[in-house]
């Protein structure tokens, strides 16, 4: 059995498969998904990303969620 890599458009690859001598038993195809309008654009900033995530976040009472509070040790830690 010989392994071959065929590249090109769908039509070019199909023609190359047809032209191969012998029996073709398997083909592995790498297919790029078309860009869909339903796909969400990637946020431009980290802040925009986290803004989108707010409906899924859990917040507890009067906790300080600032960056300084999260990355600073509290007395006793």
pLDDT confidence of residue 12: 95
pLDDT confidence of residue 15: 95
Say what the pTM is.
0.42
Q: C-alpha 6: how far from its chain's center?
A: 25
CA distance to 19, 27, 45, per residue, from 23 (Å): 11, 12, 53
pLDDT confidence of residue 37: 64
pLDDT confidence of residue 38: 65
pLDDT confidence of residue 18: 93
Give the pLDDT means over successive 10-residue stretches in the chain (77 positions).
88 93 88 73 81 80 82 83
């Amino acid at each position: 059995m010989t392994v071959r890599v065929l590249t090109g458009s769908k039509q070019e690859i199909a023609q190359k498969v047809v032209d191969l001598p012998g029996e073709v038993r398997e083909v592995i195809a790498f297919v790029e998904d078309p860009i869909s309008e339903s796909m969400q654009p990637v946020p431009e900033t980290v802040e925009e990303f986290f803004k989108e995530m707010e409906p899924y976040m859990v917040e507890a009472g009067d906790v300080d969620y600032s960056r300084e509070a999260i990355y600073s040790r509290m007395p006793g830690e």
